[in-house]
Structure 1
Amino acid sequence: MPQYSMDHLPPIPPEQTMEVRPIEPDRTYLVSAFAQMGLGLVLTALTAFIFLISGGALYILSHPTLSLILLVAQLGIAVAFGVMMQKASANTLRLMFFAYALLTGITFSSLGLVYTGSTLFYAFVISALYYFCLAFVGLTTKRDLNNLGLLCLVGLIVLMVSSLVLALFGAGMNMILYSALGLILFTGITCWDVQRMKTIMASMEGDDVSKSKWTVYFALELYLDFINIFLYVLRLFAAGSGSSSRR
């Protein structure tokens, strides 16, 4: 099973006031961000399915160098996205986002070789329902989630570093514990990202160009949040049921 390392988007937005304001953002841009995120997920799923049934997934899995190239390409796109955020057009950023989603689909095609179709389906449905609830909380809560989000982000970094250190010393972290902690941390991060999107969009009254670019930015943020939630849920399924994995 591929280890998904892009747990959070590298670029850091410019300083913004993170207190929840009474000003409501243009809902058109919020809907657009979620819609683009959804298109990214559809592109990832279709790409993964095509590569799985065509034999491409097995070919990539049998050639580790290709997996490394895909990972480097994903990292390169994410870094380039952050560097070009201020100067590139919204269409260019959108193209980079969809390219990232396509590469993720190629990488994820190997999941079909590891897990049964029913396991992948149930993990996706549970992840989608859970994500919907988190997005609702992020959009409607009156509480400032900035401190919670930063705390969860730090916790995520600690979790990743700890797992790498343990791996280097030949020890492994319990998969159920690791997945549960990751899911808890991304619960806070997702709510925080949705609230940040709402707050930042509300502070850009009349600036349609900037709003369009930030819409793509948050589409990628929300996409990454969902992907990681899905992976943690999938790992919990695998750890809790031996029948979820192909033998």
Structure 2
Amino acid sequence: MNNRVPLPGYGASRTAQTDAGLRAHMLGVFRNMGLGLVITGLVAAFIGNTPVLAAAIFGTPLKWVAIFAPLAFVFFFTFRIEKMTTSGARMAFWAFSAVMGVSLASIFLMFTGGSIAQAFFSAAVMFLAMSLWGYTTQRDLTKMGSFLIMGLIGIIVASLINIFIGSSAMAMVISILGVVIFTGLTAWDTQRIKSDYFAYAGHEIAAKMQVMGALSLYLNFVNLFQMLLSLTGERE
């Protein structure tokens, strides 16, 4: 029988230490995500506002490279992330953010600056609200996540098909469903990142998981922004 009496305040101290570690982990996730968004925005704005570069990319077959390169990077991350070092994963994420910036540069050719800003801030408000909910809710979002992943696969396939079909009605349906799916995924991914911290805290992989979490949330935000812009954006 264990007759030892817990030391006064030990449990509270352990809880405070755990909470501090979780906050530091989440701040690391959002810091990486934020830097990724800054890189993407700078690259997209530079190319989108440089006519020679924009024409060289989107006025030639290179546009297909710009469209599909981010998807290729995501697959690369999926299959290689576990073999990368933390610094290597972080550098790969910065490179991915730059490639995504090239792809997103086309929005500056299609939409007004005001509508881009409006969609960005709308996406930011929705993202922050759902991420906060995912972080604080006591509800298990696992089942919701499984449903959302299936929806995500569906809109990816539909989006690829619509690149060649060019149906405006299909694009609208994809955008509406996309807003719902990426809003939900934001909450689910935030809760998943929080749970993963408790599972792997203290392990070497924990630092790398900040980059992996940042990638998940980054993709949710960028896609939510694109869907909102497609729905509400004023075209040039």
Three-state SS of the structure 1 residue aligned to 2:148 is helix
Displacement of 1:68 in angstroms is: 1.9
**Larger % of helix: which?**
2
1:145-197 CA distances to partner (integer Å, 9 max, x unpaired)?
Answer: 01101101112223443565677778653444332211111121111111000
Distance in 1 separating the partners of 2:155 and 2:69: 24
Runs of 4+ aligned residues of structure 1 deviating over 6 Å after TM superposition are 166-170
User: Whose relative contact order is higher, 1 or 2, with alpha carbons under 8 Å and at least 6 apart?
Assistant: 1
Extract unaligned runs of 5+ from structure 2.
1-17
Number of residue pairs aligned between Structure 1 and Structure 2: 217
Match of 2:57, as an amino acid? I
Q: 2:226 aligns with which of 222, 231, 235?
A: 231
Q: 1:210 aligns with which of 198, 205, 211?
A: 205
Contact residue 30 and residue 215 of structure 1 kept, 8 A: yes
The root-mean-square deviation of aligned C-alpha atoms, in Å, is 2.1
Distance in 1 separating the partners of 2:83 and 2:67: 25
Which residues in structure 2 correspond to 1:1-247 (within 5 Å)?
Answer: 26-55=22-51, 56-63=53-60, 65-162=61-158, 173-207=169-203, 209-238=204-233, 244-246=234-236
Partner of 1:13: none
Which has the larger Rg? 2
Contact residue 182 and residue 220 of structure 2 kept, 8 A: yes
TM-score, scaled relative to structure 1: 0.81
TM-score, scaled relative to structure 2: 0.84
1:4-54 CA distances to partner (integer Å, 9 max, x unpaired)?
Answer: xxxxxxxxxxxxxxxxxxx75621111011111010001000011111222
Partner of 1:16: none
Per mean C-alpha deviation after superposition, the further-off stretch among 121-130 and 78-87 is: 78-87
Distance in 2 separating the partners of 1:142 and 1:98: 33
1:89-142 CA distances to partner (integer Å, 9 max, x unpaired)?
Answer: 111001111101101111111111100000000110110011000110110010
Three-state SS of the structure 2 residue aligned to 1:125 is helix
Match of 1:75, as an amino acid? L
